[in-house]
Structure 1
Amino acid sequence: MKIHKGLEGVVVSETKISSIVENQLLFAGFNIDDLVAERVQFEEVIFLLWYLRIPTNQELKKFRQELSSQMAISDTIITCLKIQTRQNLHPMSVLRSTISLLGVFDPNAEATDERSTYLQSIALQAKMPTIIAAYARLRKGLDPIPPRNDLSIAANFLYMLTGELAEDIRVEAMNQALVLHADHDLNASTFTARVCASTLSDVYSCITGAVGSLKGPLHGGANEKVFDMLKEIDSENLNVEDYLNQKLDRKEKVMGFGHRVYKTEDPRKKHLKKLAKELTTITQKEQWYFLSCQVERYLKETKGLIPNVDFYSATVYHCMDIDSDLFTLIFAMSRVSGWLGHINEQKKEDCLIRPRSHYIGPKQLKYSELNNRMQSGGMEA
Structure 2
Amino acid sequence: MPGTSTGRRRGPTTPLRHDGRDYLTTAQVCRMLGVKPQTVYAYVSRGHLTSGRIDGVRGSVFLVDDVDALTRRSVSRPPAGMVERIRTHITLIDDDRLYYRGQDATVLAAERDFEKVTELLWDVRPEREPQLLSAKAFRQIDGLRRAQDRRIDVIRIVVDVLGSRDRFRHQNAPVDVVARTRDIYANSLSALPVLDDRPVRGTSFAAQLWPRLTEVPANPRRVRVLNAALVLLADHDLSAGTVAARVAASARGSIYSVISAGLGALDGTLHGGAATQAYRFLTAALRDPVDALAPYTAAGLPIPGCGHVVYQHCDPRAETLFAMLEATTGGDPAVAGALDELRPPLVRAGAGFMNSDMALAALAVRFEMGPDAAETIFALARIAGWVAHALEEYQEPRLRFRPEGVYVGVRP
What TM-score results when the alignment is normalised by the length of structure 2? 0.72
Which of 339, 354, 368 is equivalent to 2:402? 354
Aligned letter for 2:405?
A: S
Q: Which residue of 2 aligns with 1:111?
A: 171
What corresponds to 1:254 in structure 2? Answer: 303
Q: Is residue 2:109 matched to residue 1:36?
A: yes
> What is the CA distance between 1:336 and its match in structure 2?
1.0
Give the letter aligned to residue 141 of structure 2: L
Q: Does 1:203 align with 2:250?
A: no
Secondary structure of 1:228's counterpart equals helix
Q: Which amino acid aligns with 1:344?
A: L
Residue 56 of structure 2: aligned partner: none
Aligned to 1:21: 94
Deviation at 1:3, TM superposition (A): 8.8
Structure-1 separation of matches of 2:373 and 2:405: 35
Q: Is the 8 A contact 1:197 1:203 kept in 2?
A: yes
TM-score (norm 1): 0.78
Unaligned runs of 5+ in 1: 53-58, 365-381
C-alpha distance after superposition, 1:326-359 (max 9, x if no partner): 3211111111111111101001112421223323
CA displacement, residues 115-169 of structure 1 (integer Å, 9 cap, x when unaligned): 43332223224333333x33x65xxxx9x99999x71111122256679983111
Q: Cα distance 1:251–1:100, how it changes in 2: closer, same or farther (>3 A)?
A: farther
Determine if contact 2:109/2:229 at 8 Å carries over to the other structure: no
Extract unaligned runs of 5+ from structure 2: 1-77
- Alpha-carbon distance in structure 2 between the residues aligned to 1:179 and 1:118: 17
What are the within-5 Å matches in structure 2 for residues 226-245 of structure 1? 226-234=278-286, 237-238=287-288, 240-245=289-294
Percentage identity across paired residues of the two chains: 27
* Closer/same/farther in 2, CA of residues 312 and 127 from structure 1, 3 Å limit: same
Task: Call closer, same or farther: CA 1:275–1:74 in 2, change over 3 Å.
Answer: farther
- 8 Å Cα contact 2:326-2:336 kept in structure 1: yes
Partner of 1:75: 135
Distance 2:84 2:325 in 1: 34
Residues 251 and 80 (structure 1), Cα distance of their counterparts in 2 relative to 1, 3 Å cut: farther
Is the 1:71–1:130 Cα contact (8 Å) retained in structure 2? Answer: no
Structure with larger Rg: 2
Residue 308 (structure 1) shift: 1.4
Aligned residue in 2 for 1:377: none
One-letter amino acid matched to 2:299: R
* Equivalent residue, structure 2, for 1:338: 385
Secondary structure of the residue aligned to 2:316 is coil
What is the total number of aligned residue pairs between the two structures?
Answer: 334
Q: 1:1-381, aligned counterparts within 5 Å?
A: 12-37=85-110, 39-51=111-123, 63=126, 66=128, 69-70=129-130, 72-86=132-146, 89-131=149-191, 133-134=192-193, 137=195, 151-159=203-211, 166-234=218-286, 237-238=287-288, 240-279=289-328, 282-352=329-399, 353-364=401-412
Aligned residue identity for 1:312: A
Rounded Cα–Cα distance in structure 2 between residues aligned with 1:146 and 1:201:
39
- How far 1:2 moved relative to its partner? 6.9
Which is further off, 289-298 or 208-217?
Answer: 289-298
Q: Deviations over 1:299-324 (max 9, x none)?
A: 22331422211101111133333222
Q: Structure 1's 2 and 246: CA in aligned 2 closer, same or farther, altered over 3 A?
A: farther
CA shift for structure 1 position 274 = 1.4
Instruction: Go from structure 1 to structure 2 and tell me whether the alpha carbon gap of 1:207 and 1:73 turns closer, same or farther (over 3 Å shift).
Output: same
Say which SS state the counterpart of residue 303 (structure 1) adopts.
coil
Alignment-mate amino acid for residue 102 of structure 1: L
Q: What is the identity, as a one-letter code, of the residue corresponding to 1:217?
A: T
Distance 2:186 2:88 in 1: 24
Relative to structure 1, the CA distance from residue 211 to residue 316 in structure 2 (aligned partners, 3 Å threshold; closer, same or farther) is: same
What SS does structure 2 have at the residue aligned with 1:357? coil
Q: Residue type matched to 2:167 in 1? A: P
CA–CA separation in structure 1 for the residues paired with 2:295 and 2:80:
33
Contact 2:245-2:258 at 8 Å conserved across structures: yes
Output the amino acid matched with 2:404: R
Output the CA distance in 2 between the equivalents of 1:162 and 1:184. Answer: 26
Would you tell me which structure has more helix in proportion to its own residues? Answer: 1
Give SS of 2:349's match: helix
**Native 8 Å contact 1:158 1:166 kept in 2:** yes
Structure 2: distance between partners of 1:232 and 1:242? 8
